[in-house]
Structure 1
């Protein structure tokens, strides 16, 4: 998905990049870089995806593939 679409969806959910970054104790620059694909942070990507009601792999195909669950032996 295009970064501007992701930012617009975040705004439509009633929050901002700054508020999102503050809630995760991360910098706004990191959140912006993840949205634009210049940085990789699974916790940030998953938080954004959760806010938008989807999976991180849907927003950034191939970058945050769903990891298979480990089985305990």
Structure 2
């Protein structure tokens, strides 16, 4: 998914980077960096995919394949 699409979907569900960061104990900047593809965090990626109710390979297709057992 494009970073702007991820952010829009999160907003529709009542979430933002600050709220995710607070839940996970990280900064909103860290969450934003993951969404934009500037850094990686399996924990943040999984949380975002869970919130969006989508598999990891849909939200972050550059990092996960549909055959991955991590989704």
The TM-score range, normalised by the shorter chain, is 0.7 to 0.9
SS of equivalent residue, structure 1 residue 10: helix
SS of equivalent residue, structure 1 residue 43: helix
Residues 1-73 of structure 1 mapped to structure 2, 5 A cutoff: 1-65=1-65, 66-67=68-69
Stretches of structure 2 lacking an aligned partner (at least 5 in a row): none
The structure whose Rg is larger is 1
| C-alpha distance in 2 between matches for 1:6 and 1:49 | 9
SS of equivalent residue, structure 1 residue 61: coil
Give me the CA root mean square deviation.
1.4
- Normalising to structure 2: TM-score of the pair? 0.86
Structure 1 segments of 4+ aligned residues over 4 angstroms from their partners: none
- Normalising to structure 1: TM-score of the pair? 0.84
Stretches of structure 1 lacking an aligned partner (at least 5 in a row): 69-73
